[in-house]
Chain A
């Protein structure tokens, strides 16, 4: 896939495959084209050219059907803080056409799985950051997607919560064969959790493979070291959304319907 914004090529002929049931990490420095790629993968942006296939569906041609096949946990919370945990899940179930008879059982199962059943009727506003993240992951699984996208899922969480989260994700991945596509800046986590990964920089894939392969390829002891060798040590400033705003001018009407 390729994506241009005017004369800027944010994503330049990026190509990769993720196998069913894989945990795949998508890494890259700020401004590398990571977010743009993910937005294209999740039907929030149309590629300028290229083809995206998810669970056998052409995303660009059938975005609505594709949306039923994946779940996403955004970096910024997309919960309604004024509603309870259960109410949030019910909304999701309705939006994703979960059959009415299945809603309550699935909601209960997922809330119990993520240790949130006791707090099901509590307003989300009162949840801790870790609990909210767990709720969001529980929510994205409600419609039994084939793939889940996790955008920086452990950002800002303490080690215990992070550990618990990954345990849950790995269990789900093993038990239900849910494919996991994640992004993270925590290289140690990517190394531990991901089966395969890709590194994007300046809009292009600069490396692809297992963590071990990347380490060997760059002669590094850790994935973090490999990453720094691949993308350089120069700081890429997060432009605080200014670049995003600039891109926004070009993106009006660019989302896949």
Chain B
């Protein structure tokens, strides 16, 4: 009897091994200190930016290792952190207005590997340091805001429809409209039904009680979460974080992850900023150019638009952000061009109507104002002050008298329309968010976590290797080689799917290794047992692998049950652990059975007269 694998099986094992090596390889190259530029809002990022940056750096005598341009970012690699920091400062002062300039540690993966799509594992915040926030949108406040808007709207509506009412009030999550008589109520009921959407009404005596419908509640919450996500994304851009994660989680939560952020205080400040909007008329009677030279006329203020051009606006505010009920982007029906549709509340609508009626043909501007808390040190004391940043985000010509709903057209693209709508919504009174979970890991701890995680893997593996070789000799060596391939495969798969590797994940790798050896122990013990029973070596090898396999499969099922349950119900780091566990169980099946068997076959399998094996 001989133990040989068919050629295809050997080739399969070999190719899996080669692939594993390739995709695990990026993890050994380390990282380049680099600076990353990404365009802010409308700024362009192209070859000319690259040339500009290159010239800037060469001019200052800063040597870069490589400049890489992708459609979303420009990455400039350096050999040392000192140059990186100096270059970052330089680029920030020159291009900081239009680009987010962030320090980054870019993987130093060689180009040939990158063209194959190979990347190093994605390290979690506990390994690279950074901030994790879980923010929750305040449901109660969101609904309260909505109810307040409805109250406002109802009053205006009734007044405009000339229906007399006694009062419109908010009461325990409901809105109550009281009338003097039944007639008024009936009239009002019709009008309200026609005009007010998203509420359910009941009548009792001379009053109408309305509640926000369930569908509307959900829509409001969804909108609030979206609105906050956008606002947060805008703010994070300013922090200059290389790879921020801002995503919705569940129904009413937002996860913000800022890898590598060290100044958590500043991060919180910027995330906590509030934004608002103002609609103002453009002062067309005076020259903005003259004003920018210091001759601002009375009743006007000088602003800059996004490209930095001066713009003169009237001091009088038409409408503010909290009067905006909704803003959405879409296509204008007549021309088919991109447009933003805005809905105002009652008060806002009236003001807007009055102003626009008198100013048809004139230009109106939208100013986006952010209030950012800023900590400054005054005489050694930390003082929190509020810094106001104002920017004109849109100028449009008034074509007609506006009402409650109006649209802004003349935008360059649907993309721009979408951005404007997002900013309008972000500037409208956003529902308050609260940080419900924070996990911050300092950079030094992150480094330590990697080291200790990797070290425990190395030492653990080493001890097991020594023991296995002593105890099972050649078969022990094969088992260890199989185990090594297991780790390689696991790392390759984790790199390939870019799953987040956390410290528990590293522990998961260690545990998988410790558990995977079980398969080889089972096989080796079985071979010994078959030999004891008097089977010739070749048959013993065959029987050992064959019979142990069912048990290996069996024992992995229970592990997988635990792994899957953890993955389904775990959060954050635990999930990472579970994922590693599950993948590790699958790879260990392959490596323990196939790889070690292939090695055994290649060594012993072809010998017709095998008298002894070292097990």
> Do A and B actually bind?
no
Name B's A-contacting residues (CB within 8 A).
Answer: none
Name A's B-contacting residues (CB within 8 A).
Answer: none
